[in-house]
């Protein structure tokens, strides 16, 4: 019997509308109202300026380790803009800009990276999940949300974010497999920033694209210029519409770049060259979007100053909050606390005594234990 070629159901396309040189494909340009364009650009600037401020706060010891988003603003804002408020957004750990767009207060995000429980708690009416640190574990949850929406007949779409490193995890493939089998309304946004910490993309996969990984699970994938706000939005709008009309999932690979560190505990100079970073800086999504708005006379004077003032007010609110109650570490684990945790909680409460809560901006030097002395909590007296 002769071999019979089987044509794939979908083909992989690359989409770019506004390139780094300022060339615009007007035939593909999405129709975005001027007011929305201004909001989108402001959201990108807010994401960038907050990112820079958070790096300084972390270096000063005022918040903990976090993952900067510099260079990935268009991939996040262009995609999340396609959602309704009633849709679900499922982030990984580098979606600060998307979370701001969805209504997360800046001070709540700062609380999160200061280790505060309430920082990861969405508002009651918010259809968002909190950030997820373990790579790719949020993706099966996103598919579960989409399956529940489908089962209930809810008119909602789920958008789940991950990075290129997540595509090397089993959770990614399990999520895509079930999404394809169940034909659920989910959009996977893969921010391909070229590096999984220090592992380059070429050492993660031999695939020509990450978008084509969707084909093995029976649904379409598309690769877009992830630094092109217009292209990301156009692809996301189409994918969300497909999902909402019962046509199943889509994978969007946003080709972008992490201009900064992986996290504030990382030193990227140890594994990538300055030449590579400079080449991608020329593709920075913010100058590209700014030039686009300039041609339309839509730029507001003093935008950066307004954004900086908004951030400063949020930082002030964050730093005037009373310290978290350390006894909450025993909550939200068991419905009924077992005896050994009750005993530990009572011991900690006794050690804390009647000390008043301290502000998050106050210094709390950790004791240096002597040899043979057990390390104690920063909360211990």
Beta strands 199-200; 195-196: pairing state = antiparallel
Would residue 85 show up in a list of annotated catalytic residues for this protein? no
Would residue 161 show up in a list of annotated catalytic residues for this protein? no
Beta strands 221-225; 250-255: pairing state = parallel
Enclosing H/E stretch for 90: strand 88-90
- Coil vs helix vs strand at 363: coil
Tokens, residue 242: 């497909």
Would residue 262 show up in a list of annotated catalytic residues for this protein? yes
Which of 271, 282, 349, 358 is labelled catalytic?
271
Which of 48, 116, 127, 262 is labelled catalytic?
262
Q: Characterize 17-50 residue by residue with b for buried, 16 or more Cβ atoms within 10 angstroms of its Cβ, and e for exposed.
A: bbebeeebeeeeeeebeeeebbebbbbbbbbbbb
Tokens, residue 124: 């009651």
Q: Which residue has the tokens 């903990």?
A: 64
* DSSP codes of every residue in 288-324: HHHHHHHHTT-PPTTHHHHHHHHHHHHHHHHHTSBPP
How far is residue 51 from each of residues 4, 196, 308, 371, measured CA to CA in Å? 53, 20, 11, 40
At a CB cut-off of 8 Å and minimum separation 6, what does 18 contact?
24, 25, 29, 228, 229, 230, 231, 288, 292
Which of 53, 102, 127, 258 is labelled catalytic?
258
Rg (CA), the chain: 23
Question: Which are the catalytic amino acids?
Answer: 258, 262, 271
């Amino acid at each position: 019997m002769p071999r019979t070629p089987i044509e794939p159901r979908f083909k992989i396309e690359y989409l770019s509308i506004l390139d780094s040189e300022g060339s615009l494909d007007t035939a593909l340009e999405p129709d975005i109202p001027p007011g929305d364009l201004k909001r989108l650009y402001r959201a990108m600037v807010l994401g960038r300026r907050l990112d820079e401020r958070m790096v300084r706060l972390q270096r000063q010891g005022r918040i903990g380790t976090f993952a900067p988003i510099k260079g990935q603003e268009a991939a996040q804002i262009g995609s999340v803009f396609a959602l309704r408020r009633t849709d679900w957004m499922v982030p990984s750990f580098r979606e600060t800009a998307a979370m701001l767009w969805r209504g997360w207060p800046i001070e709540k995000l700062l609380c999160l990276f200061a280790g505060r429980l309430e920082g990861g708690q969405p508002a009651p009416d918010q259809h968002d999940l909190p950030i997820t640190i373990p790579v790719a574990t949020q993706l099966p949850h996103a598919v579960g949300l989409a399956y529940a929406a489908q089962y209930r007949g809810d008119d909602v779409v789920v958008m789940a974010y991950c990075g290129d490193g997540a595509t090397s995890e089993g959770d990614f493939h399990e999520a895509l497999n079930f999404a394809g089998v169940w034909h659920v309304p989910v959009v996977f946004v893969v921010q391909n920033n070229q590096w999984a910490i220090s592992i380059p993309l070429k050492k993660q996969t031999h695939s020509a694209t990450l978008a084509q990984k969707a084909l093995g699970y029976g649904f379409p994938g598309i690769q877009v210029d992830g630094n092109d706000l217009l292209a990301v939005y156009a692809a996301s709008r189409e994918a969300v519409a497909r999902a909402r009309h019962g046509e199943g999932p889509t994978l969007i690979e946003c080709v972008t770049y992490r201009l900064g560190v992986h996290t504030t505990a990382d030193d990227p100079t140890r594994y990538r060259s300055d030449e590579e970073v400079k080449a991608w800086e020329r593709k920075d999504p913010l100058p590209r979007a700014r030039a686009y708005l300039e041609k339309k006379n839509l730029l507001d004077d003093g935008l950066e100053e307004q954004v900086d003032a908004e951030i400063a007010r949020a930082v002030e609110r964050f730093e005037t909050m009373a310290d978290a109650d350390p006894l909450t570490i025993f909550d939200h684990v068991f419905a009924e606390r077992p005896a050994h945790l009750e005993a530990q909680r009572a011991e900690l409460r006794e050690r804390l005594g009647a000390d008043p809560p301290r502000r998050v901006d106050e210094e709390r030097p950790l004791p240096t234990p002597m040899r043979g002395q057990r390390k104690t909590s920063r909360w211990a007296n």
